[in-house]
Structure 1
Amino acid sequence: MAAALEAGGKPVYSDSYKGVVLGLLVTAYTLNFIDRTIIATIGQAIKDDLKITDTQLGLLGGLYFALLYTLLGIPIARLAERFNRVSIISAAILIWSGFTALCGTATSFAQLAAYRFGVGFGEAGLSPPAHSLLSDYFEPKKRATALSVYSFGIPLGTMIGAVAGGWLAQNFSWRIAFMIVGAPGILIAIAMKLLIKEPPRGHSEPDQAPASPEDVAVVAPAAPPFSFFGELKELASVAGTLFGKWPVVNMVLGVTIASFGSYGAGQFVPPYFARAFGDPSGHASWTWLHFLADPNHPYLLDLAKIGMITGIVGGISSGIGTLLGGVITDRMSKRSPRWYSLTPAIGLAIATPIYIAAYLQPSWQTAALILLIPGIFHYTYLGPTFGVVQNMVPTRRRATATALLFFFLNLIALGGGPPFTGWVIDHFAQFNFNHPGGHGMLASISAMLGGDGGTISFATACPGGKAPVGAALEVVDHCKASLKAATQSGIIVSVCFYLWAAFHYLLGSFGLAKALSKARTDRGEAA
């Protein structure tokens, strides 16, 4: 058997072991998104405490996290093409978990921003090597499903972060919330290092024949020697695949634009529920038993209940969609590979009007019930897109492909989405404050584009979105009403980006079968 291994044989990994690997990576990605997105749930508490604008809140959840996250993703991915991917992931988890805990010690906007840069620095080391690992553990026909399961960490982490963050912020403080959610990463990093083995590159490609048990050490083929120009050539080759092929570039644009709207809207969904349906005292007196007894009563929400509602509703909906996206696509792609792109196109187009309907509801009960539906269609885009990217490149370029995709996606979507939505909300709040009374969203946009935003500064009149202590009751109500309507409008504007993304996915379906077939041929696989 040893001779067979030295001759190039590959280890056999059982389905149960691959399940353990996938489970640990999903757990790591879940922690990744808890630490990344918890700021959305506790954002209102941060805004009240530090007296910041929604644009600044968007920067904390977006650009200040995304900048190092995107810039470091590519060099870390190049390391992952050459060195042990499990070690890179374990170190990354320790770094981002530590900086998340440090966020709880921040006493100013600048300090919190600096720690968010650190969180982004650590989180850059997860997905590129993780995608590469999963592509070596799972063969092409199961790859979209595996990557969809991995992507399940997004809704799961968002849900847990919302529920836990809201409860901790309500019962302790937003600082304690940061500190506690950062701690579990240490245990997961150790478990990853002890339990996950580094598979040979290209292990699960069709031309590789497993020959030995999973517990036998295998010497992987040596990586090509390092050179600066060689690295640039590798990056150029991957960029040519992602941005030089019609179906792939349209899918990349689709995932980027959809994520831009998703990150932007998602950052302000918990603040919207707080502003539209929240208890001004911050301590809603009702319990869930009261609600079940009389669900039509307009009960007010505190941070814990907001986290529970937005986390569970969003988590269930988007979680189902994320898993279904991969499963449906892997099945439908047997008929035609075009379904890798058609599935997201159809899902996003269906989800958009349902989201808009939800945020136009006058009660949080109705809004929450409607929000159980659209995520099932919306999040079908993740697994198919990641699967196409992995299937389009050679085995030693897969981490790089993910990093380059994430560089483009996250710098624009994660870096720009939340600040854009916050900026839109700030401008709507300014307009609403200067123009009391009901205004249609389109009419308000038209007036603002015409330069009629108003002369009174909303940020000055309502610091942190609230009237100053001792202000007249009408000023208190006006500040609240202006911000509530502005937040609703800002979220709806962001949700409309899904239709734009759906159009690109539709365009990407043309020529996709031919592109995937050529990629297999170039790798020496049977079409």
Structure 2
Amino acid sequence: MIGSYFTVGILCIINLLNYMDRYTIAGVLNDIQKFFDMDKSTSGLLQTAFIVSYMIFAPVFGFLGDRYSRKILIVLGIIFWSGVTLLSSFVQQHHTYLFFICRSLVGIGEASYSTVAPTIIADLFSGKKRSTMIALFYFAIPVGSGLGYIVGSQMATIFKHWQWALRFTPVFGFICAISFIFVNEPKRGGNEGVERHNDDITVQDNHSFSIGQTIQSLKNDVYYIVSVPTYLFTTLGFTCVCFSIGALSWWTPYYMEYALVDSSSKDKINFIFGAIACVGGIVGVLIGSSSSQFLRGRYSTIDPIICGVGVLISIPCTFIAIYLARSHPMIAWINIFLAITFLSVNWSVVVDILLYVIVPERRATAQAIQILISHTLGDATSPFIVGAIPALPLQMVEHKMENTNTNVSY
């Protein structure tokens, strides 16, 4: 049992670094824009480049994760994404395309981890203990995202160059990869007493499988997964959450910087938002997980309702934050906190739903398909869409500011 807790602990630390790495760039976005001479919509594509490769390769690693050693996939993935992140910090000023390529490659490495890590936790624990461990695992998302802003901006401030923001997480990534080598990988479904049926043999059982047999196996997996209505509807709802969180995470600091153009707290925006993301995310995951565990015994279908209520509450909070950012920044920050909190209710609950409606042998593939759909229609596109919408008005206002030397609020 101690070994199981150690495994979950390492997975949580890796997930923390995973999300720190994703949002470190957002903490130094202004510096990157100036360094590579990017406009706002182009800088939004940095996150899109990462997410696109992440979502494309997620099904590949989901397929492999249901058939081969998940431990090896995780170790190789961590080494790959840490190495590419480190290399991206050395890209020169006039090679913007190389920076985009590096961000895309980081997505490949992280896809190998995100698709299979929850399935390992599912094979180590069951029932309420599994829900608790999944919640602990997903605490790392808001904490890592928030720390990404804080660490990114602070490293850039300390070393006077934004590139140092990308040289922090790789060091710990390599350490985690080495540590995970000593973890014992659990048997798929072993904790639930599930045995694989003879007609569902996969590549792991017989490495001499032909390509045709492999394709047939994958097709059977997909047919099964899309036949589960609960899985389909939670994936659709989670896609909306990813769209919202993607836009909020990428553009909120930038938006508040414009809103607080005359404020003395302008230099602290990344730190404030990072702290809000950390605390709000932790509270949201805690609310979602504890509500699920408390109410599931009485109402078997409560989990989707918890997710839906969380999203509904976040909507007015987001509108209030946007509307009052200039005139009442404190109220805006409070509502940003509430929006992130109630959106974060979904993180652990959605994955928990997947784990109890999908059989163990197909969970990695199901997780991969959910990642593909939610990111394709969610946070892969929202940073670019939100960045492109105000591009023309901002150009017009900035031109006016240059001519009149007046302050304009957004």
TM-score, length-normalised on structure 2? Answer: 0.89
Alignment counterpart, residue 346 of structure 2, candidates 381, 384, 390: 381
Q: Is the 8 A contact 1:166 1:306 kept in 2?
A: no
Q: In proportion to residue count, which structure has more helix?
A: 2
Residue 42 (1) aligns with residue 28 (2): yes
Which residue of structure 1 lines up, in the alignment, with residue 199 of structure 2?
A: none
Describe the superposition over 1:356-395 as per-residue Cα deviations: whole angstroms up to 9, x where unpaired: 2123222433322333333332211121211122222221
Measured at CA, do residues 258 and 238 of structure 1 come closer, stay the same or move farther in structure 2, by a change above 3 Å? farther
Q: Is the 8 A contact 1:251 1:341 kept in 2?
A: yes
Runs of 4+ in 1 over 6 A off after TM superposition: none
Which residue of structure 2 lines up, in the alignment, with residue 123 of structure 1?
A: 110
Query: Residue 300 of structure 2: SS of its match in structure 1?
Result: coil
Describe the superposition over 1:174-207 as per-residue Cα deviations: whole angstroms up to 9, x where unpaired: 111112233211111111112x211111122156
Which residue of structure 1 lines up, in the alignment, with residue 65 of structure 2?
A: 80
Which residue of structure 1 lines up, in the alignment, with residue 200 of structure 2?
A: none
Which residue of structure 2 lines up, in the alignment, with residue 447 of structure 1?
A: none
Deviation, 1:354, is: 1.4
Deviation, 1:251, is: 0.9
Alignment counterpart, residue 161 of structure 1, candidates 122, 129, 148: 148
Describe how 1:512-523 pairs up with structure 2 within 5 A.
none
Which residue of structure 1 lines up, in the alignment, with residue 391 of structure 2?
A: 426
Which residue of structure 2 lines up, in the alignment, with residue 345 of structure 1?
A: 308
Which residue of structure 1 lines up, in the alignment, with residue 214 of structure 2?
A: 231
Query: Residue 73 of structure 1: SS of its match in structure 2?
Result: helix
- Work out the CA distance in 1 between the residues paired with 2:223 and 2:89: 42
- Work out the CA distance in 2 between the residues paired with 1:229 and 1:420: 40
Which residue of structure 1 lines up, in the alignment, with residue 245 of structure 2?
A: 262
> How large is the RMSD of aligned CA atoms in angstroms?
2.3
| Stretches of structure 2 lacking an aligned partner (at least 5 in a row) | 196-202
Q: Is the 8 A contact 1:73 1:124 kept in 2?
A: yes
Residue 191 (1) aligns with residue 176 (2): no
Describe how 1:1-150 pairs up with structure 2 within 5 A.
14=1, 16-62=2-48, 64-106=49-91, 107=93, 108-150=95-137
Measured at CA, do residues 61 and 18 of structure 1 come closer, stay the same or move farther in structure 2, by a change above 3 Å? same
Which residue of structure 1 lines up, in the alignment, with residue 372 of structure 2?
A: 407
Measured at CA, do residues 30 and 78 of structure 1 come closer, stay the same or move farther in structure 2, by a change above 3 Å? same
Q: Is the 8 A contact 2:240 2:378 kept in 1?
A: yes
Measured at CA, do residues 141 and 336 of structure 1 come closer, stay the same or move farther in structure 2, by a change above 3 Å? same
Q: Which 10-residue stretch deviates more, 48-57 or 26-35?
A: 48-57
Which residue of structure 1 lines up, in the alignment, with residue 162 of structure 2?
A: 174
Q: Is the 8 A contact 2:115 2:364 kept in 1?
A: yes
Describe the superposition over 1:252-303 as per-residue Cα deviations: whole angstroms up to 9, x where unpaired: 1000111012102210112122222257xxxxxxxxxxxxxxxxxx42322x
Deviation, 1:222, is: 6.1
Which residue of structure 1 lines up, in the alignment, with residue 296 of structure 2?
A: 333
Alignment counterpart, residue 260 of structure 2, candidates 249, 252, 277: 277
Alignment counterpart, residue 364 of structure 1, candidates 323, 329, 354: 329
Residue 417 (1) aligns with residue 382 (2): yes
Percent identical residues: 23
Q: Is the 8 A contact 1:139 1:205 kept in 2?
A: yes
| Stretches of structure 1 lacking an aligned partner (at least 5 in a row) | 1-13, 209-220, 280-297, 434-457, 486-527
Q: Is the 8 A contact 1:241 1:392 kept in 2?
A: no
- Work out the CA distance in 1 between the residues paired with 2:162 and 2:168: 10
